[in-house]
Amino acid sequence: MANSSRNRKILFAKRPQGMPDESHFKMMEEEIPEIHEGEVLIRSLYLSVDPYMRGRMSDAKSYAEPYEVGKPFIGGIVGKVTKSKNPRFQEGQFVEGRLEWAEYNVSDGSDIRKVNPEWGPITTALHVLGMPGLTAYFGLMLIGQPKEGETVVVSGASGAVGTIVGQIAKIKCCRVVGIAGADDKCRYLTEELGFDAAINYKSAENLRKAVKEACPAGVDVYFDNVGGKVSDAVMSRINFQSRTVICGQISQYNLEKPELGPRVAGQLLTTSSLMKGFIVSDYAEHNKEGLIQLSEWLKEGRIKYRENIVEGFENTVDAFLGLFRGDNIGKQLVKIVD
Ligand SMILES: NC(=O)c1ccc[n+]([C@@H]2O[C@H](COP(=O)([O-])OP(=O)(O)OC[C@H]3O[C@@H](n4cnc5c(N)ncnc54)[C@H](OP(=O)(O)O)[C@@H]3O)[C@@H](O)[C@H]2O)c1
């Protein structure tokens, strides 16, 4: 149970080989910090767990600095300013930022943004109106460039990014096929989000055949969140001048040895196709326009979302590990306090 005068934090305890578990994290407690001139104290309300964090647990060279062993884990948090000595932020204001996995954070204001509750519930700053929403929007619109009538396939379809990709592709009048790991996830995609078809990659007897049946006109845009065998099946159906957007490779993140698959260069060559990886921050200069568009679609009800909420700061690590078990439909969040 939380002690109201204390601040609990989760530290990165050691680097994992393969699948991480609770032993790679450590809970510690300290006094709630004091703030100095120019700073704010933020009470964490909701915390986001995201697959990219697994990459930062490794010390392999990547686009983001590895987490430091012994230091707090960092991630997206929506919180409330409870004390302010910074004229830009008032007490009671909601903010979002990449902060320490802690019940309280001190910020000088450079790593947080104000959350406007008129745009949507404050939790949406961690998904539709935040990093996953912008990832879906930039990846699909700027790289995938879907055109009316085309077939768009998205893997990891029932998660934070995938659900938004599929709905934007529907707004753009495409045939949308989602690939996910459970029947209830597939039903959610077709019955609630308007996807045209969904494939359960875990139960499909022949994934290539399932993709062929769901995409009778082939695949024009493949938005890849997972990689591995799912992608092998989709890539076998790409069309002339198709675009493959490499957003994530979650099926590979916990492997101890790299997995070898088909070599797709020949297929890209003979179909004059594009395959491009990206990181959401590549397009940071477009964040504002992306958020305005996403908030309009959200208000119009053209983008829907679901949140998978785990209650209690002490359950943060398990919520994070659940991403790799496929526990979530929609965005996985941890609720720290009301
Ligand atoms: N490029 C960027 O800037 C950027 C930004 C954000 C996210 N991403 C990437 O986008 C992907 C989706 O992120 P998200 O935040 O939306 O996560 P998410 O989809 O909400 O959650 C992860 C989901 O991945 C699926 N999964 C887990 N292990 C898998 C495996 N071995 N094979 C296939 N699917 C597996 C699970 O669903 P199932 O039940 O369907 O297996 C799980 O629910 C991740 O790869 C992430 O790293 C990239």
For 149-176, how does the pLDDT look when each residue is reduced to its tens digit (9 = 90+)? 999 999 999 999 999 999 999 999 999 9
pLDDT confidence of residue 205: 97
High-pLDDT (> 70) share of the chain, %: 99
Question: What is the Å distance from ligand 1's center to 83 Cα?
Answer: 36
Amino acid 45 reads L
Q: Which residue among 47, 52, 189, 225 is best mutated to probe the pocket of ligand 1, counting the most ligand atoms within 8 A of its Cβ?
A: 225
Residues 6+ apart with CB under 8 A from 58: 15, 16, 66
CA-nearest residue, atom 8 of ligand 1 = 248
> Each residue of 226-236: pLDDT tens digit?
999 999 999 99
For the cut 60, the answer to whether the pLDDT of residue 30 exceeds it is: yes
Closest C-alpha residue for ligand 1 atom 27: 324
- Model confidence at 101: pLDDT above 80: yes
What is the Cα–Cα distance from 314 to 296, expressed in whole angstroms? 35
pTM above 0.75, yes or no: yes
Ligand 1 pocket at CB < 6 A: 50-52, 132, 135, 156, 158-162, 180-182, 185, 225-226, 230, 247-248, 250-251, 278-280, 323-324, 326, 328, 332
Average pLDDT, the chain: 96
User: For 188, how many CA atoms within 13 A lie in the half-sphere containing its CB?
Assistant: 22
Q: Say if residue 2's pLDDT is above 60.
A: no
Of ligand 1's atoms, which has the minimum distance to the CA of residue 55?
Answer: 47
| pLDDT for 20 | 97
Over range 102-118, report the average pLDDT.
96
Nearest Cα residue to atom 44 of ligand 1: 248
Residue 5: pLDDT band (50, 70, 90) is confident
Atom of ligand 1 nearest to the CA of 228: 32
Q: Encode pLDDT of 286-336 as tens digits.
A: 999 999 999 999 999 999 999 999 999 999 999 999 999 999 999 999 999
Q: What percent of the chain has pLDDT over 90?
A: 94
- Alpha carbon nearest to ligand 1 atom 31, residue: 251
Q: How far is CA 229 from CA 86, 195, 232, in A?
A: 50, 22, 5
